[in-house]
Amino acid sequence: MTLTGVLVFAASWLFAVNLLGLGNTVGYHRLLTHRAFQCGAGTRAFWTLAGAMHGGSPMMWVGLHRLHHTKSDAPEDPHTPTKGFWAAHSGWLVGTTNPLLSILFALTGFGQQLVILVHDVQRILGLRQADWVSLCPDLKKERLMRWLDIPLVMPALFGLQLLLAWVVGGPWGILWLYLLHLFLTNSSWSVNSVCHWPKFGVQRWDTGDWSRDVWWMGVITNGESFHNAHHRYPRSARHALEGGQDLSWRVIQLMCALGLASDPWLPKKYRDAA
Ligand SMILES: [Zn+2]
Ligand SMILES: [Zn+2]
């Protein structure tokens, strides 16, 4: 690969990793799950589609995440490190608490997409129900959310990514896409593992669960690592309430300044400071 090629590879990867990562944090998490701010249909669709490139269907993600908040670190929590650090990180997606199998799965990069494909085939065969839909009656009213939850729509979207990556860059394009999904999945999962693990960070608020604020994860999680603050104030548009890197909050502020978003919710105590 030429020097220009390396630069294009790195720059486009950094752009994509930030944009799609924000699809998960600003879109799926703060907007769709917790309604932390208001925005128009176009902005909502934009962030939803950015999240759908790697996070599965929005209703599935939101449903699982709402279950995590209502049952945090209880046996019903889909991903709690009370069953093991690696089980909370990636093992829960494939039903294992074995650390080695969990790590191997986490390194596959595209593993989550394969799990989504298997689930979709099981839904078509009637072996699995989309039980997450009952946890997001608000999203069920939206045509885009229902459409993205149709079996095989998410795998088709991933198939398009593979095709495009191959057409543009051949094997290098596939490597680019692999590194993209490897980073995006592991940064998202690390909020469930690292930011619920008692050995890391601090617990500023007694939230009755294992959630922690882990400042050194702020950059790679777009601010989601201030996770104890998030469990204390789930609706807050800002997670780094006591300071720290929170790119998602900066983007929400920028959207408000540009008139693309409004009414970002913050806990009363932190409103003036923002
Ligand atoms: Zn949590
Ligand atoms: Zn949340």
- Ligand 2 midpoint to CA 80 (Å): 14
Per-residue pLDDT tens digits for 138-179: 999 999 999 999 999 999 999 999 999 999 999 999 999 999
Using 50, 70 and 90 to split pLDDT, how confident is the model at 245? very high
Question: How far is Cα 164 from Cα 259, in angstroms, rounded to an integer?
Answer: 33
- Ligand 1 midpoint to CA 93 (Å): 16
> What local confidence, expressed as pLDDT, does residue 216 receive?
96
- Ligand 1 midpoint to CA 211 (Å): 6
Per-residue pLDDT tens digits for 185-233: 999 999 999 999 999 999 999 999 999 999 999 999 999 999 999 999 9
Q: What is the pLDDT of the chain when averaged over all its residues?
A: 97
- Ligand 2 midpoint to CA 69 (Å): 7
Question: How far is Cα 232 from Cα 147, in angstroms, rounded to an integer?
Answer: 33
- Ligand 1 midpoint to CA 148 (Å): 25
Instruction: Please state, for a pLDDT cut of 90, what percent of the chain lies above it.
Output: 97
Residue among 266, 213, 256 at smallest CA distance from 34: 266
> What local confidence, expressed as pLDDT, does residue 1 receive?
83
DSSP 213: B
Under 8 Å between Cβ of 21 and 37? no
pTM over 0.75: yes
> What local confidence, expressed as pLDDT, does residue 24 receive?
98
H or E segment to which residue 22 belongs: helix 3-22
Per-residue pLDDT tens digits for 59-80: 999 999 999 999 999 999 999 9
- Ligand 2 midpoint to CA 68 (Å): 8
> What local confidence, expressed as pLDDT, does residue 212 receive?
97
- Ligand 1 midpoint to CA 130 (Å): 22
User: What value does the mean pLDDT take over residues 23-48?
Assistant: 98
> What local confidence, expressed as pLDDT, does residue 272 receive?
78
Which ligand sits nearest to residue 234's alpha carbon?
A: 2
- Ligand 2 midpoint to CA 23 (Å): 14
- Ligand 2 midpoint to CA 259 (Å): 25
- Ligand 1 midpoint to CA 49 (Å): 23
> What local confidence, expressed as pLDDT, does residue 70 receive?
97
- Ligand 2 midpoint to CA 34 (Å): 7
Using 50, 70 and 90 to split pLDDT, how confident is the model at 273? low
Under 8 Å between Cβ of 19 and 183? no
Question: How far is Cα 41 from Cα 107, in angstroms, rounded to an integer?
Answer: 36
